[in-house]
Structure 1
Amino acid sequence: MADNVTHRYISSFFLVGIPGLQAFHCWIGIPVFVLFALGLLGNSTIISTIKLEPSLHQPMYFFLCMLAVNDMALTSSTAPKMLGIFWLDAHRFDFSICLAQMYFIHTFCIVESALLVAMAFDRYVAICIPLRYTTILTTPVVLKMGLTGMIRASLMVLPCPLLIKRLPYYTKYVINHAYCEHMAVVKLASANTLINRAYGISVALSVMVLDLGLIATSYIKILQAVFRLSSQNARSKALGTCAAHVCTILVSYTPALFSFLTHRIGKKVPPSIHIIFASLYLLVPPAVNPLVYGVKTKQIRDRVVSLFFPSKKISEN
């Protein structure tokens, strides 16, 4: 009965969804579907807008385009399976599919963090050393930064499913979660999981500490440069260019930090609350980011209006 190659007995996991709220799964699926649809529509609109508008072919918008592609991938790796649980009672997940979903979700999350760092660096160069902006952030440099972020994420997350495959899973197969999250899967193993836990927390801490540190450093430098400007109008304009990015950082990191801390120290937090927040940090940023950039960035806003209302005259002001 045992599989001597993979050293495990179970072939699939049973994902509960949101424990304690199973009776409301049908209703919970509605906001999940809305966020999924908004994420796909909004990000595809951002990508199309940047592609069609020559004035947006700049490093800042190339990074935004990468963020939109990553957000679409992130929400697509999460929402369909969640909707299957909530609406179709499709709770069974094959072992390998569960590991694949876990790998892609965590990879896209780390890529998202890397892109936020790159966008913070873009704002730093634009505001602090504007005369060198075009020479520092050339198109090849922008592409290399995006590729580096993707390679970093892929390599950092790869050991997670490989370490899980070496663990035996005998009788525990019920995951009290709405998707295959790393720690939720590790906790079911019938063996010592110290290596898995240590590696998982090391990756999470290193990404958060490094990336948040780099973002904070960029914005400290930006604020120092902004408050040295003599004109109030210039200060407002400089800060305004950072507003959308700051909103994106808050939307992305706040629920992620809550979920991370709850796993480690939030023993009194109800599982349903933890899982809701863990789901929100995967579904909300992809849906909200296009709205934030669409509202805060005039070039994108005007281009989107012209796409949906071609007869409407867009003011040059």
Structure 2
Amino acid sequence: MEEGFDRYTFQFAELSGKVDYCAFGKVTRDFLHGFRQSKHYEVMLSAFLHRLFEEPELVSPANLKSLENALVDRANAILSEERAKDKDRLAKGRKPVYELQESEESEEEEPVLTEEELRRQEEERLERELREEERLAAREEERRRNEEALRARARQVDTKAMEEMLQNAVVLNPGHLKPKTGGKQQQQKKQVTEDELREMESQVAALMKEKERLQTVLETSEEELPAKLTEAKEQLAAVQAKPKSQDGATTSKKAPMQPKQINARAAELKQKLSKLTVERTRLALQMKAEPHPLREELLSVLQTRDEAQLKLEQA
């Protein structure tokens, strides 16, 4: 019988007068009786009471009496079911269900708190929440510091390893290297020519320029990078716009150097090459450890500017 009823009728029925409400009440009474064992009983009852409280003047006294009787019957049925359970409990020497529930509720009653106690409890709760937020913030800050320390340590390890590897390195032009010879020639020191000396000087100048470019890029903050990049592009455009004759080389011929002077100058340039190579490598590793698109673009523009300037000077 229960499958034939529609519980949504009680929620969506459109009632317009006393006749509808009277019929609705009678149907409700029958439904309550038929659905007293249904899981939808509470839903239907609450829906009807909601309609009742909306416009109670439209419900007749007879309808209310019928509803009252149905509710009383339902309450008596529930009480009978509980008492049937109590018989089994009494047979086992236990208290009835309703007495046990009353005693438990009386024991679990919380004492009434004063306004001062409530205010103090609220302050304690807020203080606990504040301490918890501070603890979480401290843990996040500690985690950030640890990650930064690990990254810095990794950069230091890479830089130190490369510096140790290049500590005794000397940059030479491979085109000027000659195979070793035996006998007395192996014991004699190689005489550096003036062309080789000029090549070493150009290498020193190139390394110096590269070191300056790396230092400029690394020392520029992220906020200053856009302005620095714009300035470098303007300098490059100005260099490219100059005619070759404007910066043409007008260097006069120098007097030839003595062999001792050439050897001393070559030794000095070798030391500079070694030192500049180590410094250039260290800066390049630092640049690689802190990648940034604008820094890489700025470095490329500065390199192009210096190469264009060098071509003008050598023209």
> Do both share a fold (TM > 0.5)?
no
After TM superposition, the score normalised by the length of structure 2 is: 0.25
Structure possessing the higher radius of gyration over alpha carbons: 2
After TM superposition, the score normalised by the length of structure 1 is: 0.25
Larger RCO, structures 1/2 (Cα 8 Å, 6+ apart):
1
